[in-house]
């Protein structure tokens, strides 16, 4: 069943006609990486302390849709959507703001992610299981905290639980296909063997955390939102989704409501398309 699910997701991403950007004559997203976490993993409860008490456990997400006491355990399916190299290169060439291709990707991602989630939920239902995409629930929220925006279903933390990678100094999630990615996930009552989380810390894939070298993303940020002390989410948020970003998105023919994004810290960096620490023993 693990392979069946993986293949279904791969096929959807690679064969979807929507997954096509005219400007590069190629796909927005390359072949996805799919991994599985047990919904019983104690880490999901720990996220209530690490992130916020309001962060949903898989059980809470499932039951908010299917009703109280409807969940008896199962699996969280976490998906990495690697960004096409041509889009990454276009953003790597930029110094002050997002490239046109990156902004169009920003406009495209939410709809594609929702379509993929629905497809996976339907696929599981046809096999006799129930499933839900927490980030598409009415209960999903993005809210302000003193340190910046947060959400009650953090895809990066879900991906960490599934063993897909770890965080960088800039908060970005670094996978085997690098940091220039998008993430999505689905919770199901189908029980599968979970993937093993090999990382010894939640920052292992970042060169700066691992051995004190790098910091390339610090230099790339146009608004100095990253330092050796971490990522200033408020500075980043103002730049990534502020007025200038909205105007830029409009000028590019993107979606001014969601802005252009930025992602300069995710391109032209050693962790762009790979896990840069994979070479270390
Ligand atoms: C709110 C939000 C933002 C905010 C805040 C980001 C943040 N760091 O949380 C702002 C506006 C700044 C932002 C900016 C961007 N975002 Co954004 N954003 C989100 C959103 C909606 C929620 C994030 C969230 O819930 N964060 C929760 C907090 C708690 O996370 P955190 O503070 O980083 O967590 C730290 C602690 O938990 C700490 N920690 C301490 N102890 C421990 C122990 C353990 C065990 C663990 C695991 C962690 C841990 O480590 C973490 C990293 O430092 C997600 C979508 C989603 N539903 O997840 C997208 C998402 C995170 N964004 C994404 C992207 C692409 C971007 C941008 C590149 C914009 C763009 N499109 O061009 C920039 C990049 C900024 C950056 N340097 O990472 C991608 C992530 C891609 C990636 N490789 O990481 C996501 C997942 C969207 C998606 N569906 O793919 N974003
Ligand atoms: S660019 Fe370097 S310091 Fe920044 S997240 Fe990637 S590996 Fe870490
Ligand atoms: S997304 Fe842009 S503004 Fe935000 S930290 Fe990265 S480079 Fe800086």
- Say yes or no: CB of residue 261 within 6 Å of ligand 1: yes
Residue at token pair 């997701």:
9
Work out the pLDDT band at 10, boundaries 50, 70, 90: very high
Over residues 6-18, mean pLDDT: 98
- The CA dihedral of 62, 119, 12, 199, to the nearest 10 degrees, is 0
Residue 91's contacts (CB-CB under 8 Å, 6 or more residues apart) are 98, 99, 101, 102, 180, 263, 264, 266, 267, 268
**Average of per-residue pLDDT across 98-106:** 97
User: Does the pLDDT at position 281 exceed 90?
Assistant: no
Return the C-alpha torsion angle 237, 238, 239, 241, nearest 10: 70
Q: What pLDDT, on the 0 to 100 scale, is given for residue 96?
A: 96
Cβ(236) – ligand 3 distance below 6 Å: yes
Q: What is the pLDDT of residue 91?
A: 98
- Locate the ligand 2 atom nearest the alpha carbon of residue 216 and give its number: 1
Tell which atom from ligand 1 comes closest to the C-alpha of 140. Answer: 57
pLDDT digits (tens, 9 = 90+) for 185-198: 999 999 999 999 99
Whose atoms come closest to the Cα of 225: which ligand?
3
225 has pLDDT over 90: yes
Q: What is the mean pLDDT of residues 135-154?
A: 96
Region 44-58 average pLDDT: 97
- Across the chain, mean pLDDT equals 97
Q: pLDDT digits over 128-143, tens only? A: 999 999 999 999 999 9
pLDDT of residue 30: 98
* Residue whose CA is at the smallest distance from ligand 1 atom 41: 50
For residues 55-83, give the mean pLDDT: 98
Residue 95 has pLDDT above 90, yes or no: yes
Q: Which ligand is nearest to the CA of 208?
A: 2
Relative to the CA of 261, which ligand 3 atom is closest?
A: 1
Helices in the chain by DSSP H: which ranges? 2-15, 43-50, 58-66, 85-92, 100-126, 155-161, 207-211, 216-220, 233-241, 243-252
For residue 280, the model assigns a pLDDT of 87
Residue 82 in tokens? 């690697």
pLDDT band, very low/low/confident/very high, at 208 (cuts 50, 70, 90): very high
Residue nearest to atom 63 of ligand 1 (CA): 182
Q: Tokens for 212, please give them.
A: 């004190």
Ligand 3: does its nearest atom lie under 6 Å from the Cβ of 239?
Answer: yes
- Report which protein residue has its CA nearest ligand 3's atom 1: 263
Q: Could you tell me if the CB of 264 is within 6 A of ligand 3? A: yes
Per-residue CA distances from 30 to 45, 109, 165, 177, 193 (Å)? 32, 13, 18, 10, 25
pLDDT of residue 80: 98
**Structure tokens given for 159:** 């991906």
Pocket test for ligand 3, best of 234, 263, 267 (most atoms within 8 A of CB): 263
Q: Report the C-alpha gap between 261 and 259 in whole angstroms.
A: 6
**pLDDT at 234 > cutoff 90:** yes
| Cα 150 to averaged position of ligand 3 atoms, centre (Å) | 16
pLDDT digits (tens, 9 = 90+) for 255-269: 999 999 999 999 999
| pLDDT surpassing 90 at residue 150 | yes
């Amino acid at each position: 069943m693990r392979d069946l699910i993986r293949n279904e997701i791969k096929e959807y991403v690679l064969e979807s006609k929507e997954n096509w950007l005219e400007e590069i004559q190629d796909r927005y997203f390359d072949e996805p990486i799919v991994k599985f976490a047990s919904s019983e993993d104690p880490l999901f409860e720990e996220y209530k302390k690490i992130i916020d008490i309001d962060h949903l456990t898989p059980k809470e997400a499932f039951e908010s849709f299917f009703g109280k006491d409807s969940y008896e355990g199962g699996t969280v399916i976490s998906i990495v959507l690697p960004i096409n190299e041509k889009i990454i290169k276009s953003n790597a060439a930029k110094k002050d703001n997002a490239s046109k291709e990156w902004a169009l990707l920003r406009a495209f991602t939410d709809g594609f992610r929702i379509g993929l989630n629905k497809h996976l939920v339907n696929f599981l239902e046809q096999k006799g299981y129930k499933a839900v995409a927490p980030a598409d629930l009415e209960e999903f929220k993005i809210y302000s905290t003193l340190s910046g925006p947060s959400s009650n279903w953090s895809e990066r933390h879900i991906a960490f639980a599934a063993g897909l990678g770890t965080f960088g100094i800039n908060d970005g999630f670094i996978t085997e296909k690098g940091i220039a990615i998008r993430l999505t996930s689905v919770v199901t009552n189908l029980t599968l063997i979970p993937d093993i989380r090999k990382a010894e810390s939640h920052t292992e894939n970042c060169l700066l955390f691992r051995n004190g070298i790098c910091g390339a993303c610090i230099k790339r940020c146009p608004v100095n939102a990253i330092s050796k002390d971490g990522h200033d989410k408020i500075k980043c948020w103002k730049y990534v989704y502020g007025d200038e970003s909205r105007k830029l998105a409009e000028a590019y023919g993107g979606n001014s409501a969601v802005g252009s994004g930025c992602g300069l810290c995710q391109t032209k960096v050693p962790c762009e398309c790979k896990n840069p620490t994979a070479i270390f023993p």
